[in-house]
Amino acid sequence: MDTATTNAIEIRDLVVDFGSRRILENISFDIHQGEIMVIMGGSGAGKSTLLRCLLGLKAPTSGHIHMLGTDICHATKTDLYKMREKMGVAFQGGALFTSMSVAENIQLPLREHTNLDENTIQIMTRIKLDMVNMLPHENLMPSELSGGMTKRAALARAIIMDPKLLFFDEPSAGLDPITSAELDELIIKLKKSMKMTIVVVTHELESVFAIADRIAILGDRELIQIGTPHEIKASCDKRVIDLLNRTPRESIVDSDAHLKRLTRNAQS
Amino acid sequence: MIKAINELGSNVLASIEQIGRTFNLLVIIAWKLTQPPYQIYPIIKQMYFIGARSLTVIIISGVTIGMVLGLQFYNTLERFGSVGVLGSAVALSIIRELGPVMTALMVVGRAGSAICAELGIMRISEQVDALECMAIAPDKYLVAPKLVAGILSVPLLNFVFNVVAIGGGYYVGVVLFGMAEGSYINGMIDSVVWSDVRLGLMKSLIFGMLITLICCAKGFYLHLSEHGSKGAEGVSRVTTDAVVISSIAVLFCDFLIGAVMS
């Protein structure tokens, strides 16, 4: 099978250090074209660092990331920018420009990268806003939006150029269950209608199993497991089971014993 | 003792790194400004913010400083019977020294701090990363218009400052103390030569570039500074640093330019 045509992203032996601290160690996996890959893991597992590497915002210590055939770890700035024109990113906090209205935020990539006339830009903006149910709010400023509206506006901006790859950082974070479920529906709808490869970074279990075609679980600096939601649920790895069952750490469960141990260590 | 030397060494290295990064930003922007698309509208928008919206503070400070100069020079010159050179004294002081310096310091306080804080907030709220991910070069999109606007606005503001400050001196000398109008104006016209105007213009161009560059670099590279992980506190710290460093840089460069061009 020709992997170049089926893999949108290939990650090979990725190592990331922050100073002397190792964050990710020998991460290798593929993300297939047209699938929704969810990268999950506990806090500090390296999810956000991996996402920043995928976006080309953080250079790894070693390893390769091939994205639609381009090695973004060793690409020139020009090649990286060309690559980025094929991808959309919805950041956790939205990262909308506060001096622009929702519509102006969404139009920005079109104005910078195309020579489309004003009428076409307006039509495209309205289509994308309608896809994320934000059409009535196009003239609002980012400061006037709720958390869910901000994320939907950020999503509209991410898909305005019809990207081949869509990255979504913590789509459900800080949202109520209904808004979160609506956003999950929206991600699935986008995958079907626009045939995009979508990479979602999250630790919200409900969202993960609602949207994922495959799941990659990070923990202890490494990739613990990768597979379909069914395979992940059937995993025998204790770390995966703990994550799925939301098992608290020992220090939280038996705080007295943990405190005694800490005190003993301090005394010795 | 060794700890103190270590700390001093790391601070010196960090400062050298910051200076290098700042001038690297200047070179990158200078190169990118020659490449299309040209950012005309954003430059005008920034000129409105840095220039037009600083007019009030420039006019008030210009009039005040002109009046103070007029008053002090009049009292001093009167002792030597040389009140007739008041116009020359006020005009030369304003055009050669006080105009460019005070304009730059006012712009640092009003617009420089705002520019630094804006870029710092954009950095910590991932807006700069968002631009990168949209394949829009944030240095060209965010910093270049501010830098060009600063270089163009400060000399224009300096001109306004000079005019109103000379007017302030005129008010004190001619209107309050009854000095002959012709003496004030003719003295000024006779003594101010093209090289004085050129020196003032040169200074204000350099100060305009320097203060916007420092303020932009401080905010834009917030994530690389020691305050990068401190969120809102980090923004406030780099903004304070930007204002202090810009002000010192203006005063130091004023001396350097004066020494070289005099």
Q: How far apart are CA A56 and CA A65, in angstroms?
A: 9
> Does residue B8 lie within any of the structural domains?
no
Is B137–A89 a contact, with Cβ atoms under 8 angstroms apart?
A: no
Check if the beta carbon of residue B150 is closer than 8 Å to that of residue B50.
yes
Please give the pLDDT value at position B220.
Answer: 96
> Does residue A212 lie within any of the structural domains?
yes
> Does residue B185 lie within any of the structural domains?
yes
Please give the pLDDT value at position A254.
Answer: 66
> Does residue A131 lie within any of the structural domains?
no
- Which residues fall within 8 angstroms of residue B135, CB to CB, at 6 or more apart? A81, A82, A84, A85, A109, A112, A113
Mean pLDDT of A39-63: 91
Query: What strands lie across the sheet with A21-32, from one edge to the other?
Result: A21-32, A7-18, A62-67, A70-71
Sign of the CA dihedral running A234, A235, A236, A238 = negative
> Does residue B240 lie within any of the structural domains?
yes
pTM: 0.88
- pLDDT of A19 strictly over 80: yes
How far are the Cα atoms of A39, A215, A225, A255, B38 from residue A248, in angstroms, in the given order? 21, 22, 20, 11, 55
Please give the pLDDT value at position B150.
Answer: 97
Among A25-34, A254-263, B225-234, where is mean pLDDT lowest? A254-263
Mean pLDDT of A128-139: 92
Picking from B133, B164, B155, the residue whose alpha carbon sits closest to that of residue B69 is B164
Would you place residue A230 in the very low, low, confident or very high pLDDT band (cuts 50, 70, 90)?
very high
CATH classification of the domain holding A221: 3.40.50.300
The number of domains in chain A is 1
- Which residues fall within 8 angstroms of residue B186, CB to CB, at 6 or more apart? B87
> Does residue B180 lie within any of the structural domains?
yes
- The encoded tokens of residue A121 equal 């830009």
- Which chain B residues are Cβ-neighbours of A96 within 8 angstroms? 127
Picking from A220, A167, A150, A206, the residue whose alpha carbon sits closest to that of residue B125 is A150
Distance from CA of A79 to the nearest CA of B (A): 10
> Does residue B179 lie within any of the structural domains?
yes
> Does residue B34 lie within any of the structural domains?
no
> Does residue B129 lie within any of the structural domains?
yes
Instruction: Give the containing element (helix H, strand E) for A122.
Output: helix A118-131
DSSP bridge pairs for A64: A12
Q: How far apart are CA A226 and CA A214, in angstroms?
A: 7
Check if the beta carbon of residue A187 is closer than 8 Å to that of residue A36.
yes
> Does residue A134 lie within any of the structural domains?
no
> Does residue B31 lie within any of the structural domains?
no
- The encoded tokens of residue A266 equal 């301090």
Check if the beta carbon of residue B183 is closer than 8 Å to that of residue B84.
yes
Query: What strands lie across the sheet with A222-227, from one edge to the other?
Result: A87-90, A165-169, A197-201, A36-41, A214-219, A222-227
- pLDDT of A222 strictly over 60: yes
Mean pLDDT of A181-191: 89
Among A188-197, A211-220, A252-261, B94-103, where is mean pLDDT lowest? A252-261
What is the domain range of residue A7? 1-86+197-268
- pLDDT of A2 strictly over 50: no
Would you place residue A4 in the very low, low, confident or very high pLDDT band (cuts 50, 70, 90)?
very low
Mutate to test the interface with A, among B134, B223, B235 (most CBs of A within 10 A): B134
> Which A residues, 117 through 156, put their C-beta within 8 Å of a C-beta on chain B?
none
**ipTM score:** 0.86
Mean pLDDT of A126-152: 93
Would you place residue A3 in the very low, low, confident or very high pLDDT band (cuts 50, 70, 90)?
very low
Please give the pLDDT value at position A267.
Answer: 61
- pLDDT of A265 strictly over 70: no
More confidently predicted of B38 and A110: A110
Mean pLDDT of A195-221: 91
Low-confidence ranges of chain B (pLDDT < 50): none
Please give the pLDDT value at position A136.
Answer: 94
> Does residue A125 lie within any of the structural domains?
no
> Does residue A23 lie within any of the structural domains?
yes
CA atoms within 13 A on the CB side of A258: 7
The number of domains in chain B is 1
Alpha helices (H) in chain B, listed in sequence order: 2-32, 40-50, 55-79, 86-92, 99-107, 113-124, 127-133, 138, 144-170, 181-191, 194-220, 232-261
What is the domain range of residue B140? 39-261
Q: What phi and psi, each to the nearest 5 degrees, are found at residue A17?
A: -115, 145
Mutate to test the interface with A, among B41, B126, B142 (most CBs of A within 10 A): B126
Out of B37, B122, B133, the one facing A89 most closely (by C-beta) is B133
